[in-house]
Amino acid sequence: MARCDAFWERRDVDRPLLTSWIGSYEVAKLYPEGLSQLPTGQITPGDFDFEFFRADYERLFEQHCSVDVDVPWVAMPVMVVPWLEAIAGCPIHHRDGNVWAKHWLDSYEQLDQTGLQPDPNWLEKLAEFTQWLVRLSDGRFPVALSLMRGPADLLSAVRGAEYAIYDLYDVPGRVEGLLNLLTDLWIEAAQAQMAQIPKFADGYCFSIQQLWSRQRGGWFQDDAIAYWSPELYAQFARPCETRLSNCMPRTGIHLHGPALFTVDHLVDMPDLDIIEVNLDDVGLKIPDMIPRFQQILEKKRLFVWGAFTDADLHMIREHLPARGLALQPIAETPSQMQALSHSVRTLWG
């Protein structure tokens, strides 16, 4: 784990930290066996038999075992399930491997009557899924937090995407209060999972954008911010993300290209350790993002996830230092990933 230590310490190194994503970009395709056994329509915690997913996790583990990267494959409760949205009270629906949340908060008067109480059944199921993965691993692979959307995303989920935007202007005080409650919920769900997760190789891991650290940690994300102005982000979301950034010893935020304007704030968030950026199929490409990457690396660690071309890797090599930089290439098969790993090692010499 020496390269991981060097990444966290932002030491000068000969190449970026290298991790891997093997399989489809369409996340539902990573869990075909388990998802095929869920009922169609609204689903409840009782519909989940963890054994439905055993074959999917074993396959993913075997695929990633065969490639030479710096970070082990990490298991987490199945990421297509919107766990936080469910815990926040959203009805959860499934069809043909797609799982989504429906909004439930039609007016803020509902909060006056009932408050925002985490759904204990979904919270318990998330903790139980984490426990099951620890038993399944039996020390073979690390377990980490599931994908957990942040307060702005949860606001959009419980209120509905359109009304969540209107509310920022029409009832800003109510939005601020709800975002604080959703931040509390996020922290409670993270703690419920962390309580079940043991050390792996004398440390802990981040899931999805995979990292190993000697301290506990995890990612948060607020993809809904892409529809907000910089001023609205600073007023409403940044205080919540500041709380999330210091709720664990190590924290990182996941971003897409349209939300890179938040970097101006994030680089000065003292307890935030890493900024992760997705290279998406559409939108900004590596040449467009290099200035932001340079801005991040001046103060923080940078993690970049995507289907890199040779031109992308050459541009990263030319314009960015390896210090504090991690790359997670996407590949459909282990052999393709091994070729990408070889390309990175050769390019950085």
- C-alpha–C-alpha distance, residues 308 and 312, integer Å: 6
Q: Tens of pLDDT along 99-132?
A: 999 999 999 999 988 889 899 999 999 999 999 9
Mean pLDDT of the chain: 96
Radius of gyration of the chain (CA): 20
pLDDT at 24: 85
Return the amino acid letter for 282: V
Q: Each residue of 41-75: b (16+ CB within 10 Å) or e?
A: eebebeebebebbeebbebbbebbeebebbbbbbb
Q: At what angle do helices 172-194 and 120-137 cross, to 10 degrees?
A: 30
Q: At what angle do helices 286-299 and 310-319 cross, to 10 degrees?
A: 40
pLDDT at 115: 84
- pLDDT tier at 53 (50, 70, 90 boundaries)? very high
- C-alpha–C-alpha distance, residues 14 and 322, integer Å: 7
Each domain of the chain, given as residue ranges in start order, spans 2-348
Alpha helices per DSSP H over 115-223 = 120-137, 151-159, 161-170, 172-194
* Strands, sheet with 98-101, edge to edge from the N-terminal-most edge strand: 41-43, 92-95, 98-101
Task: Answer yes or no: is pLDDT of 316 > 90.
Answer: yes
Q: Tens of pLDDT along 8-34?
A: 999 999 999 999 999 988 888 999 999
Return the amino acid letter for 130: T
Q: Tens of pLDDT along 57-100?
A: 999 999 999 899 999 999 999 999 999 999 999 999 999 999 99
Residue 287 CB neighbours (<10 A): 11
Task: Say which residues have a Cβ less than 8 Å from residue 282's Cβ, sequence separation at least 6.
Answer: none
pLDDT at 38: 96
**CATH level 2 (architecture), domain 2-348:** Alpha-Beta Barrel (3.20)
Q: Tens of pLDDT along 140-175?
A: 999 999 999 999 999 999 999 999 999 999 999 999
Residues of the chain above pLDDT 90, percent: 95
Return the amino acid letter for 267: V
In this structure, are residues 225 and 262 in contact, taking their beta carbons and an 8 Å threshold? yes
Q: What is the dihedral of CA 10, 16, 22, 25, to 10 degrees?
A: 80
Return the amino acid letter for 179: L
Q: Tens of pLDDT along 191-227?
A: 999 999 999 999 999 999 999 999 999 999 999 999 9
Q: At what angle do helices 172-194 and 238-245 cross, to 10 degrees?
A: 20
Scanning the structure block, which residue is given the tokens 């519909």?
A: 47
pLDDT at 220: 96
Residue 138 per-residue DSSP state: T
Residues of the chain above pLDDT 70, percent: 100
pLDDT at 190: 97
pLDDT at 26: 86
pTM: 0.96
